[in-house]
A and B are shown apart, each in its own frame.
Chain A
């Protein structure tokens, strides 16, 4: 009677034990990897340690873009850990809308991840932590600040929410600035707090700092004067480029309109363009010094060569080339000073077919300046029509080609250096780069001497005169192409100058696009901007005046 109960119980226990043993073996051998994986999925995390993005400095160490530690604050909406009062307190602290926050949470109540706010500053993080909320988590990230704001916005550019460069230097030097994020493996508890560091994968490699060639003081000066001029002339846009003659560095590069890179809501499409390098315009008379240079190179012309411009206009093919007044017989020097279309075109037609074109190519027109800033264009100039006299004639006074303000500055740099073409650079150079001689010193000196006449009282740009300094420059007023050919109302007003003319230090190009008002010439609109910027810039750099006025 009792024996069979005893044996039955024994068998049941044995079968149960055997069953469990089989199950254990099955779980460990057949499903082991899967189960360990599932377990790790729930508690082990590889977290990336964000790398600190490099600082962008100006040439004297002023920060133009820098990162500060911040946090991305997030929660798990599916757990519903936050009460209404807690949410209200949180929203109050973070300057968020309570109702919207509630809606977001309820809308995403199925999800396990929702950013409450990104780029929360370090001090705010401490305040939120002080509230002692359950279920609010912080991920480390960095917030990018641009202390100089809109003044250097186009050069420096900006980064997106994930700390990747979107524009400007931030984009083109993204790899260098970014660094490499580190990794570590951590064990999380139920509340997703790190309870143990399992493995320290690799430390983050911080991004490299970058020192630009920009001089923030000059940049600010140029920006302020350009902004004032664009506003007072109701112009569409404008640019100023300033180059260092010794090194080819870009000391200032400003555009109007601009934008504030610190304000993510302020992103006007028109203001984002770095117009000095992305927009090409016809340069007009600013090209004339190169025509004169090409003429000097033949040896058949000199500053005193007399050109007969009467009756103030002449015809090439079916194109009428005209001066505003009949200037009679003038020397080549006067032709440049007064910016005579007739005289310059007549000179150009005496030269070989490719002479002016070649001079411009040597000066860097039609080529990328290669600064590495995104969106740079090479402008356009073609040698296809050079066998037609009309094409050569208009090319000699700056029509039929398009250049960016930066390219024109580079071309003038070849004059300022005495005929040596330097590579341009937006990054600060430790030693002067090797240049390439493209014009003979003697010819360039002669052209520079003639260009000094432009800013004298009798010249077209007497408003570019800077007291105490001799300035070699040239104005340009190019009509823009509209629906019916060249438009008489829309102009690009240029001034390109080299200061001081005797021992050049700075090359500056001012371009004001579509100024409104009665006088839209480069001499009236762009030259005064140049003079105001230069008066301050030359003193800032401690350049000795050429002429010391008596008394």
Chain B
């Protein structure tokens, strides 16, 4: 076996081993990123759930009929008569 031939073999071996390790690393990276994506998606889902629940709560509590009832019964407000209106 000549010297140059041996050198080629050695380089090829190093390249092969290196790429093998790279494959393993990138597989690991894929898994980690996937896991992160899952976590992020779950967080997004939870946030969406909270947001929509809050929106529904707001819409229910601030429904026009509730506001009107509260104004009349709790705050003793009344609809102004025409003569009392102030024109800007």
Binding site for B on A (CB under 8 A): 52, 55, 62-63, 66-69, 122, 140, 145, 147-148, 196-197, 200, 216-217, 220-221, 224, 467-468, 542, 544-545, 548-549, 551
Contacts and interface: CB of A to CB of B under 8 A. Distances in A.
A200 B34 CA distance: 8
Interface in B36-57: 37-38, 45-46, 48-49, 52-53, 55-56
A35 B32 CA distance: 30
Interface string B49-74: 10011011001100111000000000
Contact of B59 (A68, A148, A200, A221): A148
Contact of B52 (A67, A197, A545, A548): A67
Contact of B85 (A62, A197, A216, A545): A545
Contacts, number: 60
Given A68-B52, A200-B34, A544 B87 contact: yes
A200 B33 CA distance: 11
20 contacts: A55-B55, A62-B59, A63-B56, A66-B55, A68-B49, A69-B45, A69-B46, A122-B45, A122-B46, A122-B49, A145-B56, A147-B59, A220-B63, A220-B65, A221-B64, A542-B88, A544-B87, A544-B88, A548-B85, A549-B82
Contact of B56 (A140, A147, A217, A220): A147
Interface of B: 31, 34, 37-38, 45-46, 48-49, 52-53, 55-56, 59-60, 63-65, 82-83, 85, 87-88
Contact of A63 (B48, B49, B55, B85): B55
Query: Which has the most chain A C-beta neighbours within 10 Å: B49, B53, B64, B87?
Result: B64
A147 B57 CA distance: 9
A145 B57 CA distance: 11
Nearest to B62: A62
A69 B41 CA distance: 12
Contacts of B82: 467-468, 545, 549
Contact of A69 (B48, B59, B87): B48
Nearest to A536: B79
Contacts of A216: 64
Contacts of A148: 59, 63
Do most interface residues of chain A lie in helix, strand or loop, or is the interface mixed?
A: mixed
Do most interface residues of chain B lie in helix, strand or loop, or is the interface mixed?
A: helix
Nearest to B38: A197
A314 to B, nearest CB: 43
Contact of A66 (B31, B46, B52, B87): B52
A518 to B, nearest CB: 30
A436 to B, nearest CB: 34
A502 B56 CA distance: 40
Contacts of B34: 197, 200
Nearest to A125: B49
B48 A52 contact: yes
Given A66-B52, A69-B52, 20 more contacts: A55-B55, A63-B55, A63-B56, A63-B59, A68-B48, A68-B49, A69-B46, A122-B49, A140-B45, A147-B59, A147-B63, A197-B37, A221-B64, A467-B82, A544-B88, A545-B82, A545-B87, A548-B85, A549-B83, A551-B83
| Leading 3 A-B pairs by shortest Cβ distance | A147-B59, A68-B52, A467-B82
A524 to B, nearest CB: 23
Contacts of A196: 31
Nearest to B53: A68
Contacts of B49: 68-69, 122
A221 B82 CA distance: 19
A542 B87 CA distance: 9
Contacts of A66: 52, 55-56
A217 B62 CA distance: 11
A549 B83 CA distance: 6
A200 B85 contact: no
Given A63-B59, A68-B52, A147-B56, A220 B85 contact: no
B53 to A, nearest CB: 6
Contact of A468 (B45, B46, B85): B85
A432 to B, nearest CB: 24
A531 to B, nearest CB: 13
Query: Which has the most chain B C-beta neighbours within 10 Å: A69, A217, A221?
Result: A69
B27 to A, nearest CB: 10
Contacts of B38: 197
B64 A217 contact: yes
Nearest to B60: A147
Contacts of B59: 62-63, 147-148
A271 B83 CA distance: 41
B37 A200 contact: yes
